[in-house]
Structure 1
């Protein structure tokens, strides 16, 4: 698709992505910005660069385009009353599209920092902008906008880059060396050998050759760890529901707050296609959207989110704690909230690693949904996560089989999900069934399963196996530092430490708390994780009154 010509037709509003501001809202914004005349060809913001201004079109038309030259395509055309930008403007990412003036006119430019403040103080305007930006991000992901990842589906590094982009809901396009006919021509054009893949093509012709996750994050504007001698009030480790809730409440209370996560915001909840029993969202909400909203809230109050940044050690210092990332002390804080959550448990079958990412998956997001088009899918597990995945994947799959070890799912699955599974055509539950072997060469071809009652062996044709069989805590890095139970979860609020009586949620160190799924005895639900994150912040204040740290 080529760039829009002059006098281009304005794009209709799509699912609330392109609303118009009313006169009162424009008047309010005008107090914080400046009006500018614009001419055809003027660039208002550019792909690959951080968007620093919120632009409202007063007169004329502006096209939002992706790519350069003959490969440029038009995403949308906006007229008076419309505003530009997308989610990156609110959270500090680089832009994934370019805005170019098509018809002369006038725009209102408001500094991004001013807009973030206005969004926080004006619920109506904030909700309009937030809903629009969330929808635009979804549209960009669906259009395969953003950077391109070129590589082999069998490459662990290509899988790492794809999963990072998908989990963080970063618009990108995957170009498969095995399937995409244009891949070879593109590599020749860039003078790159297939043996040198994966590569990331970003911002026109910028080539990142097998970048680390941190290098890719830096290129697209995500914050990376930066050592500092300054001691913040609170460091939150993990950006799942518990960690994000803690960061929102800590930052809104005026505490200097730093949040670190190894992979992406949202945690396990971020991989859920739809959470339908979370208070306040009767239609349901995807885990990714819930996380995006929380990130914006935390950023609005001043929390600094850094991804990817995996803590490897906790070091008590005199009066504070140091968090070690990649061998260096990345953050120093008076209080620590550990919310690193849990990771999905893996099947105990031979050669599992061989198929991970090329047939075996631990999440059901739009990234995985594309791989299941008109194909049979197998889901292992009988809990809520397995049910949500089955219902979501059933949209694209030709059939979905759920393999469950027990004889009933009602003990491990919410009633509303069990009822929906029962009335959904295309989903079959196979009880007393376990996976015993994975079949295939370089990709998964079939699953061999066994009925544990009859001993019967079944071969189920599938190229996509989704595993939801519980989780293990992400606490390997804490062994020998904090007390853990026999399953590896962090023990909190029990007994005393050498420095005094422990508060609820407090670990073996004063001022170090655990919240959410990582905590021993926690209720594995999003709502309870959010509650514990908020409670941990209140306890931080209580601890500060005894230590005088703040």
Structure 2
């Protein structure tokens, strides 16, 4: 790395706020002060177990591809700044390298001690967590991260890109059809185009990896193997499942959380939730999920993502949750929080454009495909409204297409009012998508029909939010379901003693997957918290042994 250092990077929306002298002194009490010499590497790209650092004097550079052909300084930190991002708290490997750029002093704190320091100083904990979350957001748009080389026509391309995007893993997609760099890279690796997709990171090359293999590379999976004596297995890590994990783990239940795709569920795809209690300025679904997952880990909950539930059986302990990789999780109670997945449009050629021009989420990752383009959003619920407000800041024009005449029928009033004030948004009522047109996986236009008349929208990106279907296929004949496939609970379940208990004692359903639930984040969180109380009551009523003693958390600072 050359010695031509730039000035300290400015703060970006709180991502690099400075700690006060009092906060630094507080942290020093949990670690040590030490000298740092120019050129010293504090932690490297790919390193998982690493301490937390605060710069008290001197400069530290954050570098991508340190020592490689594409070496680049991403940020520069001076006195009062702290290092690292969300991966420090979740156990993920670092996606960058930290190198001392100018002699100075550091405060070095073990991560385990950082949790206690944050617990004792709530303001410090909130500042650190906010900064870590904001920095992960910046990494997603500022570094290459994991490289995925593949054809847009490959079904595995969509699978891998969705897994990386939904789990907020910094990554770069190189399209075989359009990027000349792809062919050069494949030749260097002696890989034929037919052998793609290929995932590259840290001198590791994975040929068409499974979701589990990509998750292992990115440090998403917390365990690999059976957990034979869990108190609680939470299936699904959306708001309801995350709430159950926080309350279960904090009340002493040994809790394991699994999810087929990513923490946060469908809520994590919302760019801004403005009516969630306690966040008057709003909060993104991804940040809410990150905070909740960190909070659950702090109390000792174990996460493994992706891990898809394949079945629910009886076992010696009470229940066995079978995963798609053959793992069997034995437990005393199960919370089903698998939620629902968005429906797909019933239109020809849809699959051809999915993953490249058609999306089911509107986050910062998808927003990059909308810069200065015309886009269409299909759907009239809150998810569609939140996406409209968010994408209006990126797209040149947004068409919001709904099937009925009244935007306020299914959408919260605050979103309806915001949309009405957006000059580049056109609401198209009583319309449906009939045709998609484009070439080589790139959408060029969408034909909609309104009262028998057809109109062509010149859109290059399409977002679909047209309702959802419950993720209950894995339950088969294990639980009573309603006519639409949602899990019956309470009296409706023919045996459920409480509103959340299913037809099988000790198995509860919460959130969107539950028949009759209110499809709102706040209600899902409430049900997840209630489920743990119900579990304790059931255990007491059945004279079950008390839960295992609460373990010391390996989590992180949080609100």
TM-score bracket, shorter-length normalisation: over 0.9
Cα distance change on mapping 1:171 and 1:323 into 2, 3 Å: same
- Residue 434 of structure 1 pairs with residue 429 of structure 2: no
* Alpha-carbon distance in 2 for matches of 1:542, 1:398: 55
Instruction: State the TM-score, normalized to the length of structure 1.
Output: 0.94
SS of alignment partner, residue 392 of structure 1: helix
Q: Deviations over 1:216-269 (max 9, x none)?
A: 111121225533363111111101010011111111112111100000111111
Paired with 2:222 and 2:377, the residues of 1 have a C-alpha distance of: 36
Cα distance, 1:108–1:330 mapped onto 2, change above 3 Å? farther
Measure, in 1, the Cα distance between the counterparts of 2:493 and 2:277. Answer: 35
Measure the CA separation in 2 of the matches of 1:125 and 1:224.
Answer: 27
Aligned pairs for 1:349-360 (under 5 A) are 349-360=347-358
**Which residue of structure 1 lines up, in the alignment, with residue 265 of structure 2?**
267
Query: Take 1:75 and 1:381, find their aligned partners in 2: how far apart are those partners?
Result: 39
1:495 offset after TM fit, Å?
6.2
Which residue in the other structure is 1:523 paired with?
Answer: 518
- For the pair 1:486 / 2:483, whether they are aligned, the reply is yes
Query: How far apart in 2 are the matches of 1:381 and 1:102?
Result: 51
Counterpart pick for 2:289 among 277, 291, 298: 291
CA contact 1:59–1:105 (8 Å) conserved in 2: yes
TM-score (norm 2): 0.93
Match for residue 126 of structure 2? 127
- Which residue of the other structure, out of 468, 478, 484, is the alignment partner of 1:471? 468
Task: In structure 1, list runs of 5 or more residues that go unmatched.
Answer: none
Distance 1:201 1:407, change over 3 A: same
For 2:12 and 2:493, locate their aligned partners in 1 and report how far apart those are by CA, in whole Å: 57
Displacement of 1:514: 0.4
- Measured against aligned partners, the alpha-carbon deviations of 1:197-219 in whole angstroms (never above 9, x if no partner) come to 2222212x222222111111111
- Deviation sequence 1:46-72 (CA, Å, 0-9, x none): 101104211122343221101033411
CA shift for structure 1 position 39: 2.3
Match runs of 1:43-442 below 5 Å: 43-67=41-65, 68-203=67-202, 205-223=203-221, 225-228=223-226, 230-326=228-324, 328-442=326-440
Query: Are residues 1:507 and 2:505 paired?
Result: no
Using a 3 Å threshold, how does the CA distance of structure 1 residues 272 and 4 change in structure 2: closer, same or farther? farther
Query: SS at the partner of 2:152?
Result: coil
Distance 1:398 1:106 in 2: 48
Match of 2:549 in 1: none
Separation in structure 1 between the aligned mates of residue 317 and residue 183 of structure 2, nearest angstrom: 57
Gaps of 5+ in 2: 547-559
In 2, Cα distance between the equivalents of 1:342 and 1:184?
A: 39
Q: 1:229 & 1:529 partners in 2: Cα distance?
A: 26
1:326 is displaced (CA, Å) by 1.9
Q: Which moved more, 1:278-287 or 1:116-125?
A: 116-125
Against the structure 1 CA distance between its residues 124 and 375, is the aligned structure 2 distance closer, same or farther, given a 3 Å change threshold?
A: same
Cα deviation, residue 327, structure 1: 5.2
CA-to-partner distance for each residue in 1:156-203, whole Å, 9 max, x for gaps?
Answer: 212211111111111122222333343333333333333322222212
- Give the count of matched residue pairs: 543
Q: What residue in structure 2 maps to residue 446 of structure 1?
A: 445
The alignment status of 1:535 with 2:530, answered yes or no, reads yes
Q: Shift of the alpha carbon at 1:501? A: 5.9
**For structure 1, which segment, 43-52 or 104-113, has the greater mean C-alpha deviation from structure 2 after superposition?**
104-113
Secondary structure at 1:71's aligned position in 2? coil
Structure-1 separation of matches of 2:423 and 2:6: 45
Moved more, 481-490 or 72-81: 72-81
Cα deviation digits, residues 346-381 of structure 1 (max 9, x gap): 122233323222322211112221112222211111
Match of 2:456 in 1: 459
SS of 2:219's partner is coil
The secondary structure found in structure 2 opposite 1:336 is strand
SS in structure 1 at match of 2:10: coil
Report the alpha carbon displacement of residue 441 of structure 1 after superposing the two structures with TM: 3.7
- Cα separation, 2, equivalents of 1:294 and 1:440: 40
> In the aligned structure 2, how far is the partner of 1:320 from the partner of 1:359?
46
Question: What CA distance in whole angstroms lies between the structure 1 residues aligned with 2:97 and 2:169?
Answer: 16
Tell me the SS of whatever aligns to 2:528: helix
| CA–CA separation in structure 2 for the residues paired with 1:388 and 1:449 | 22
Shift >6 Å, 4+ stretches: none
